[in-house]
A and B are shown apart, each in its own frame.
Chain A
């Protein structure tokens, strides 16, 4: 891999020297997509690029073949490059697999869980994990199958987290974009509002809000969380927009008669999608953890609806003897948060390769 990249780099430099254009995305082994340029160069000038660059290191054969055969290589967009970088990011792919699995379980909870989450069985109170009667994670103090409760709890938690993320991203992006684009007093007003929300002690506000606004219902819990989670994304989008606003292509769009809304939505937002996606991913993790904390404290989703944090709460009141009631939901929360953070890392590396540490 290492030497292939080196070859690629060499080739990229050579292309530039040969009158082609070195693309900004060359580094990191993607130089092979330069081919369209080279084909143009070759077709128009009749000067072949130095074939030596394509011979040599093992593993170069397929590339050389593609090149030699003159197969039309499609030019990749920036998203193409980003997708490629993401797919090569091992941790991120692992995280993605993990999350797909979690989503699968959440979507098909009713198919996977052997019991309804609220079915009581007084003949099987507090039994440990066993395959007997399919109580893989044991049962709780009311004899409810704990595996089923975890699976349904997962569904609730994931649903809440995704809803929070969607809502927080929409609110945060809107506020950040408006603040960053217009600047001046609009920016000042919106950012002081953001600061205000940021300074609120998260948990205390959540506790109070959940008492008055919506203890118990997953939808309301999600609304409350979203109302506090948009600040990070608003700041990041504002910062991105502040720098994009000074870009000449924005000025050029203005000079060609585009209005504010068109510039914000069509010209600037697509350029800010990278940071937005990364931050949104991290909000998913934050929301799951916060929802768990809230439910653990008994102010989030209320029984009998299961949620991961609330299951841990059930377990910890039972003491260490019934270890499974704390362990399984806890492991799953950690697993989800870890997967999402890996995905977030991978996305950041993929979307903003300039910030990546060079790895070998």
Chain B
């Protein structure tokens, strides 16, 4: 999972802005989002529900309904081509080929009327029309073996309802890596599973990455998963990127009050028992985002300062260029949490 990151990004998202026109007004789902994904690395996109983390990725692949959704601005360069300017057909060939997705709920992401083997086989044959049925069948069995489905030769003939949740998610992962994608997008791949199965699926994901050397975007709100799998983290709030950096930096030295809040609201298994500190308030309405920094009404750092309420903080580098934060007062955080920096990656 930790392939050395090359210098040329596989996917470069710049100023992506996505809106949804609804009866209640325009939903600013994603505003000016920029980040890179380098070949072989795993990027975690973290945030609350409605922070735009899924939309920012789905919109790249033309998977948001248009209308009501529309991409109003930005570029997304994948291997030198702008995904947002690509024709429908080119985009379709890309989906499931070079860019594959793993969905949140394996219980509903498989078509109930086809056998598992048929569905994975179809994914192969859609992108490789020359592949014969028996070759595809063999490949399906190999893939299922890879993702740890026992008895694959028998299981391919079964229907999704004969698979357990964990097995279905394995099948989904097998389907996603069937065409050796360069970029794997996992949209909350473990959210619908129980904890023991989650741990297994994480191992399967690692194996899948190892097999395909695919770069991965992991969309999740599970910081544990991020710590386990990711090289870099992109934290989103209110449709914007609020902080980004490598996983050790973010966990050890978060420089945005929202990220700090996320860390604090995690239960800790080591150290002194203490009460969880949730982030107060509710996620903002994406129709009426607070002016200035969208996080300021819930921010412990702002303290009602005028700047937070009037100016949208830009995402700016902090000292070293790899760590970016969109907080006017990011520097104050280090002083407020010296013990956190001292704790190192041990969070």
Contacts and interface: CB of A to CB of B under 8 A. Distances in A.
Contact of B162 (A36, A248, A257, A270): A36
A252 B150 contact: no
A40 interface: yes
Interface stretch (B98-106, B218-226, B235-243): B98-106
Nearest to B176: A256
Interface string A220-254: 00000000000000000000000000011101111
Interface string A264-288: 0011001100000000000000000
Given A44-B150, A255-B63, A257-B97, A78 B111 contact: no
A357 to B, nearest CB: 23
B69 to A, nearest CB: 13
B123 interface: yes
Nearest to A252: B109
B162 A23 contact: yes
Contact of A252 (B110, B112, B161): B110
B95 A255 contact: yes
A251 B63 contact: yes
Contact of A262 (B126, B161, B162, B172): B126
A267 B118 CA distance: 11
A319 interface: no
Nearest to B164: A21
A20 B163 CA distance: 9
Given A37-B162, A44-B150, A262-B126, A255 B101 contact: yes
Interface string A88-109: 0000000000000000000000
A215 to B, nearest CB: 44
B93 A257 contact: yes
Contacts of B151: 40
Contacts of A248: 103-105, 108-109
Interface of B is mostly: loop
Interface residues of A, number: 30
B113 interface: yes
Nearest to A81: B161
Given A37-B162, A75-B158, A252-B103, A257 B67 contact: no
Contacts of A266: 122
Interface of A is mostly: helix
B67 to A, nearest CB: 7
A133 interface: no
Chain B CB within 10 Å, residue with most, of A20, A21, A24:
A21
Contacts of B210: none
Contacts of B112: 78, 249, 271
A69 interface: no
B92 interface: yes
Contact of B161 (A20, A23, A44, A271): A23
A249 B159 contact: no
B109 A249 contact: yes
Contact of A271 (B103, B111, B150, B172): B111
B308 interface: no
Contacts of A37: 162
B163 A21 contact: yes
Contacts of B158: 36, 75
A256 B175 contact: yes
Given A40-B151, A44-B150, A262-B126, A75 B157 contact: yes
Contacts of B159: 75, 77-78
Contact of B126 (A184, A249, A256): A256
A262 B103 CA distance: 20
Nearest to B155: A40
Contacts of B140: none
A78 B109 CA distance: 17
A254 B176 CA distance: 12
Contacts of A251: 63, 103, 109
B245 interface: no
B61 interface: yes
Contacts of B127: 257
Contacts of B105: 248
B96 interface: yes
A25 interface: yes
Interface in B58-104: 61, 63, 67, 92-97, 100-101, 103-104
B95 A78 contact: no
A260 B173 CA distance: 23
A304 interface: no
Interface in B252-281: none
A259 interface: yes
B232 to A, nearest CB: 23
Contacts of B111: 249, 253, 267, 270-271
A248 B63 CA distance: 12
A252 B126 contact: no
A162 interface: no
B201 to A, nearest CB: 16
B123 to A, nearest CB: 5
B110 A256 contact: no
Given A21-B162, A249-B108, A256-B126, A78 B100 contact: no
The 3 residue pairs across chains A and B that have the minimum distance between CB atoms: A256-B96, A257-B96, A255-B101
28 contacts: A20-B164, A21-B161, A21-B164, A36-B158, A44-B150, A75-B159, A75-B162, A77-B115, A78-B112, A247-B108, A248-B104, A248-B109, A249-B108, A249-B109, A249-B111, A252-B101, A252-B109, A255-B95, A255-B96, A255-B101, A257-B93, A257-B123, A257-B127, A262-B126, A266-B122, A267-B111, A270-B111, A271-B111
Given A25-B161, A75-B157, A248-B109, 18 more contacts: A21-B161, A40-B150, A40-B151, A75-B159, A78-B112, A78-B113, A248-B104, A248-B105, A252-B103, A252-B109, A255-B63, A255-B96, A255-B101, A256-B100, A257-B97, A267-B111, A270-B114, A271-B113
Interface of A: 20-21, 23-25, 36-37, 40, 44, 75, 77-78, 184, 247-249, 251-259, 262, 266-267, 270-271
